[in-house]
Structure 1
């Protein structure tokens, strides 16, 4: 299972989110339809642009609780001081992807930024 973690500025459009997701998928050499879910922080769950992309792609939308983001953040690679000050994790995109993909997940693509959105891809550690 591949999970796309999304972070964004308030009011980011679906086009911003889709552009960041496409950039991450291109970076992984992964087909654009390979994503199984989109995840973000519970604090961003009401961002229409993120939800719209999940809906348009027909994939699951996961809002990750702050405690789960914090637990997964240590497995990320991006360390943004500014994002940490705002959100309590160094990369919302990486933490959300890793948390939603499970405890054995690994990053396929660290956070990429396009416009007002960021995306990271995580691969679930599940073998089934």
Structure 2
């Protein structure tokens, strides 16, 4: 899916997770983080997570597209992160997965409305599109 067509709503949900984490854990944290917010355009994560069954199943349960972003796309928004992750930096060479993916999904037109939240091996952050 093309990134431009994936982001047609106002919110982007960035997701990171440990390998093998359940869809239930992912959905639970996303629902907690987005309670009371407008509907999201999709779930966004780093390309390294392609093939992670829990993420695919969570996206299906939430009826949202799952978009994989390059490390370069995540690195490009590093100066806008609220909660850099030493673990993400060590593992993927980027300062964040969840926050960076949420911001990168909005192509520089977003701000974090829910900074990184973590529970049960899952991290979630939400960015909102803002008009220039």
The TM-score with structure 2 as length reference comes to: 0.85
What's 2:46 paired with?
A: 41
Contact map agreement 1:102 1:124 (CA 8 A) in 2: no
Aligned 8 A contact 2:74 2:96 in 1:
no
Q: Contact 2:27/2:62 (CA < 8 Å) preserved in 1? A: no
| Secondary structure of residue in 2 paired with 1:36 | strand
* Structure 1 CA distance for aligned equivalents of residues 119 and 40 of structure 2: 18
Q: Deviations over 1:19-38 (max 9, x none)?
A: 22122113xx326xx12200
Runs of 4+ residues over 2 Å off in structure 1: none
2:92 matches 1:92: no
Partner of 2:34: 25
Let me know the Cα RMSD of the aligned residues: 1.6
Q: CA deviation at 1:8?
A: 0.3
Gaps of 5+ in 1: none
The answer on 1:115 being equivalent to 2:120 is yes
Does the aligned pair in 2 maintain the 1:39–1:96 contact within 8 Å?
yes
Instruction: Show the counterpart of 1:52.
Output: 57
